[in-house]
A and B are shown apart, each in its own frame.
Chain A
Amino acid sequence: MKHVMRILAAGAIVAALSVGAPGGAAYAAEKVKVGFVYVGPVGDHGWTYEHEQGRLAVEKAFGDEVETTYVENVSEGPDAARVIQQLARKNDIIFTTSFGFMNPTLKVAKRFPKVKFEHATGFKRADNVSTYSARFYEGRYVIGLIAGKVTKTNTIGYIASFPIPEVVRGINAAYFAAKSVNPAVKFKIVWVNTWFDPGKEADAARALIDQGADVLMQHTDSPAAMQISEEKGILAFGQASDMIKFGPNAQLTSIIDNWGPYYVARVKAVMDGTWESQDTWDGFAPGMVEMSAFSKRIPEDVRAMATKARDDIAAGKLHPFTGPINKQDGSPWLAAGETASDGDLVGMNFYIEGVEGSLPK
């Protein structure tokens, strides 16, 4: 039955098949073609914006030797596989820059064994599919230290998007760091259930400020919370990109995603024929995560402490999650001196001891 239908349908479309062989490949054999799939618009000034900066870095590094293409606003639903496949027909390497592109990337990669794929933030790999992500929690640890020191109300507001491991890790890292320098500190966490809704992020920021937070952290993508902090005269940390324009007084520092060096390295590997499937999870050390300039409003000694923490993490001397750390329910997680394994961190779905509220399920 299935077979019959296939034949029927194939017959119906056979004319089309004969008309258009995919154009692709090899008219300018020298150029390496690089495709990018973005989940948001390049002008979002957050997640996608930083990937776009990475693409521009590739163009800058290789000039005429590369040709890059991007498709923006690709939803993580049924359209993703099509866009990836359209790009796969014409490109040598493709970066799919959102978690939801994981399974579509693998599906398409199977069909195009010669094309290299790079999927951001996922955990499934194949011979021609690498994964890469950044250890943003290292940055969150540093801002946690600063927040713990600069808060006067001992109340830090945290605007969170969705309870995925990435976000939970960030909350834990920031809380752990803040608590280590200020035992009285409390985190107020508000889940807005969106990565991007400036109005709602602004409302959340106002609510947290009204409840006494004098320092805001966000794990959402728009600069709305930064603007509100500026307006209300409190302090805040930026997310994904430098938000200093939106909070010239408010911004203490921003955690910046810097994908450029990685993209350049991977495109270079394709050029040299040395590309291999791998899993990359980099932080401060190679500069995949960066902090924007520390604000003058951070006291000198705190700045020094934060700088040292950043450098120690980069040098491998300090791990943001170093025991003893208990889970929220009091059960032990890390023994004294023990550091968290990547395995634990990747799928993190629990708060550490002291964080209030329960993780949305």
Chain B
Amino acid sequence: MIRLEPRNEVSKALLYVTPVIAIGVTILAGVVMFAILGKDPVRAISLIFLEPLTDSFALSEMIVKATPLILIAIGLSFGFRAGVWNIGAEGQFTVGALAGGAVALALYEVEGFWVLPLMCLAGVLGGMAWAAIPAFLRTRFNANEILVSLMLTYVAVLLLSVLVYGPLKDPDGMNFPESRMFHPAATVPILIEETRAHIGFLVALAAAAVAWVVLGRHVFGYQVKVMGQSPRAAGFGGFVENRVVWMCLMISGGLAGLAGLFEAAGPVGQLVPALPVGYGFTAIIVTFLGRLNPIGIVLAGFVMALTYIGGETAQIEMNLPSAVTGVFQGMFLFSLLGIDVLTRYRIRMFRSPRPGRTAPLAARTVPVAARTGGE
């Protein structure tokens, strides 16, 4: 009989080993899938996992793709530790892009070093404002923030669409639903010449570093952890709890808004209805793949970016349908998430059936794992 037994501490060694095992499992499953589809499995898998790592363009694009994922995921990690479930980062991303983009368009052709910082500020505030709605409704009316933030995502995407069809439409754009291209003064500086990697990446790394310090050393980090483990046992008054809820949503909303602005003023360079492509949702996966840890999130952001870029490469090189890369990505995530169990539990072999029934109140919630919950 195989059973799991919780470890007292997360295994440091396994933290690094499990992703490797997960990749191994995914490769095995991938070999089977590609073989069934009649595609060369070795070629397909090396195109997905290796090719992007040996190609400077693909590497730069991984930075482009990882930047918003990391920024958003860092913000979300605070809330997820505290049990504040903002799953509407996509909406905050969109409103951030909208607010920052509106500033860029209002200041069209205005030169000035302050234009971009002002846009960033607007982006952050836009994201925060959108996140403030679930924060207010949860703290004041006890409304579930999962649902409110999710619903607001749809509203935000529609809002973007309304505005680029209307007031923000390019005046010389033949009535097509797009804004003007932002003025050069209103675009994010490029990090590496001849690529699309922009300084937003440095901001994302800085956010990770700050998060690392706050979570480790600051009283807010402590409050977040305690609230995540048990808000009532910690003797929190409603006041502290509300403050944590607000802080978590402001941080995640602000960073998601900033990420949205960076996308609009970076790789895209204008406001378009298709700007939100799901970074807000993908970042949730990144947050957990990174085990809510800032360094882990940076790595997970790159892993996630790799699967997208590699998937595209495989599509182009082997004429694979995009569906195949979706399946492969899903399998990869499943194995990463599933095998992660080894870091928190040991596998033990038992001879006898377990004595479950006689046990006292021995069940316990997992110490390291994040808790999920509505209320």
Contacts and interface: CB of A to CB of B under 8 A. Distances in A.
Interface of A: 2, 5-6, 9-10, 13, 16-17, 19-20, 22, 41-42, 69-73, 75-79, 81-83, 85-87, 89-90, 99-100, 102-103, 107, 111, 123, 162-165, 193, 346-349, 360-361
Contact of B57 (A22, A78, A123, A347): A22
Contacts, number: 122
Contacts of B266: 78
A20 B55 contact: yes
Contacts of B178: 100, 102-103
Contacts of B268: 77-78
A360 B61 CA distance: 37
Nearest to B197: A9
B181 interface: yes
A75 B312 contact: no
Nearest to B52: A20
A71 B57 contact: no
A19 B272 contact: no
Interface string B175-202: 1111001000000011111101101011
Contact of A81 (B166, B175, B267): B267
B277 A20 contact: no
Contacts of A193: 158, 161
Nearest to A106: B181
B193 to A, nearest CB: 6
Contact of B312 (A19, A82, A89): A82
Contact of A69 (B192, B202, B276, B316): B316
A361 B166 CA distance: 5
Given A10-B192, A20-B54, A100-B272, A78 B315 contact: no
B322 A73 contact: yes
Given A78-B277, A82-B61, A165-B176, A71 B322 contact: yes
B368 to A, nearest CB: 32
B202 A5 contact: yes
Nearest to A343: B174
A78 B60 contact: no
Contacts of B321: 41-42, 72
B59 interface: yes
The 9 A-B residue pairs whose C-beta atoms are closest, nearest first, are A76-B274, A347-B174, A20-B55, A78-B267, A20-B54, A77-B274, A17-B56, A349-B175, A73-B322
Interface residues of B, number: 52
A165 B174 contact: yes
Given A13-B56, A73-B322, A78 B64 contact: yes
Contacts of B201: 9
A299 B117 CA distance: 66
B26 interface: no
- Most B CB atoms within 10 A — which of A9, A163, A360? A9
A9 B191 contact: yes
A162 B177 contact: yes
Contacts of B190: 6
B159 to A, nearest CB: 12
B136 interface: no
Contact of A16 (B59, B202, B267): B59
B48 to A, nearest CB: 14
